Amino acid sequence: MFRSAAPVGKMAATPIRLAPATRRTLFLRRKRPVQKSQEFNLQQLRAARRDYDQHRTAFLAAGALSGIIATIYTGLKLKDAIKDKWEKEKTQKEQTPPPITCDSSLPTETFRTEAGERRKVVLHDDQGNEIVPTGNSVVPVFPRLINVHMPPGQHDASESPLATTISDQEGVEMTLVGFGMRTVTFIGIQVYLVGFYVATQDIERLQHFLVKKINPLATTLIPSEKDALRRALLDAVDGEQTWNAILQESGCRSAFRITPVRDTDFHHLRDGFVRAIQARSQKDGNAYGDEAFGDAMKQFRALFNRGSVPKTKELVLCRDSKGVLSVMYGAGKHQNKRDLMGVIPDERLSRLLWLNYLAGDKVATEGARRNIIEGVMEFVERPVGTVAAQVV
């Protein structure tokens, strides 16, 4: 019935394109075509990754460093707090009279005041030997006098007649000057008691040297001069110079008696001695850098290649008038003999070891140094030459 205006053949040949149906509402927008490929800049990616790693490493390092600093700071504060607490307890204990116990005849105090002067408390044991209380429960007393057998060839050829009455078959008699406790670590673990002894016949030389240092015209020191000497010996520089001159020039024979209050061994003792000697020798490389001093150090180390040292045993370091060091070990009892471990002829080694206890900015035990100085004050307050005669 109806006819098309165009021929049928032309209608079939003409393609028909239909536009995609798009719907757009209030909330939906027309979608844009998505790119199927993107261009990547490898240089920018690498730089971004490098910056990220650097920032991450910096933050981690800062955190670790902050943790270390905080730990060290906390430890130092804790150490200072414990030290202050111990000092307060020690001061309170010194100001409080020691308790009197019924089962002990030994006083806990080591000094007493007589006529305004501090003096060591000296007692007598059952055998009549003079002893000095230490205040320690493991080693309660130290002998006031000890006899040390010098190795052959170490006796002073210029001994006085008084020396011949003292230096006999029993050995050289030595008098206690002072003692103290050696502690380690910041919590103050007690290791050993150390006492400084001077040959009784050489006390006169020590008196003469110390008195002349303060007053060249005096034979004894008055209280103000004693205070000046005490300040000089406590000073790090002046004290080291004074004791260094005494050890080199006075010719005083002396000894350190070491008694452990806990079980230890020779290697631990040796390590402490060696560290102290090396620390002082490094201050003057020209004086201690030669081969002879190095050999002396090797010999000294070899002496301590031994086993354990039980508590209450006795290690004696003896220095003769020429500075020769003798190391002896014994049971620690008054009647027992000591075995000679060895001899070190280089006087520089023994002098540095002595200074480790006597003077300097850092000593092995501050309590022993102050106690030794108080013992020296007892010598200089008496006329030169009278102390040895009184001991005899």
My answer on whether 215 and 269 are in the same domain is: yes
My answer on whether 84 and 145 are in the same domain is: no
My answer on whether 78 and 153 are in the same domain is: no
The half-sphere exposure of 345 on its side-chain side, counting CA atoms within 13 A, is: 5
My answer on whether 214 and 77 are in the same domain is: no
125 is a domain residue: no
Q: What is the pTM of this model?
A: 0.70
Indicate if the pLDDT at residue 235 is higher than 80: yes
My answer on whether 327 and 238 are in the same domain is: yes
Q: What rounded mean pLDDT belongs to the chain?
A: 79
298 is a domain residue: yes
134 is a domain residue: no
User: What is the number of structural domains in the chain?
Assistant: 2
Q: What is the pLDDT of residue 157?
A: 44
Indicate if the pLDDT at residue 275 is higher than 90: yes
- Quote the CA–CA distance of 334 and 346 in Å, as a whole number: 30
My answer on whether 146 and 91 are in the same domain is: no
**3-state class of 240 per DSSP?**
helix
Segment 176-217, tens digit of pLDDT: 999 999 988 777 789 999 999 999 999 989 988 888 888 888
Indicate if the pLDDT at residue 387 is higher than 80: no
My answer on whether 69 and 172 are in the same domain is: no
Q: What is the pLDDT of residue 343?
A: 93
227 is a domain residue: yes
My answer on whether 294 and 386 are in the same domain is: yes
My answer on whether 197 and 331 are in the same domain is: yes
Domain that holds residue 382: 141-391
- Quote the CA–CA distance of 59 and 241 in Å, as a whole number: 51
289 is a domain residue: yes
My answer on whether 177 and 69 are in the same domain is: no
355 is a domain residue: yes
Phi/psi of residue 309, each to 5°?
A: -125, 100
Least confident of 70-79, 93-102, 229-238: 93-102
My answer on whether 221 and 79 are in the same domain is: no
CATH of the domain at 200: 3.50.70.10
Percent over 70 (pLDDT), the chain: 73
My answer on whether 89 and 207 are in the same domain is: no
39 is a domain residue: no
For residue 243 the two structure tokens come to 């004791």
213 is a domain residue: yes
Segment 281-309, tens digit of pLDDT: 888 878 888 899 999 999 999 999 988 89
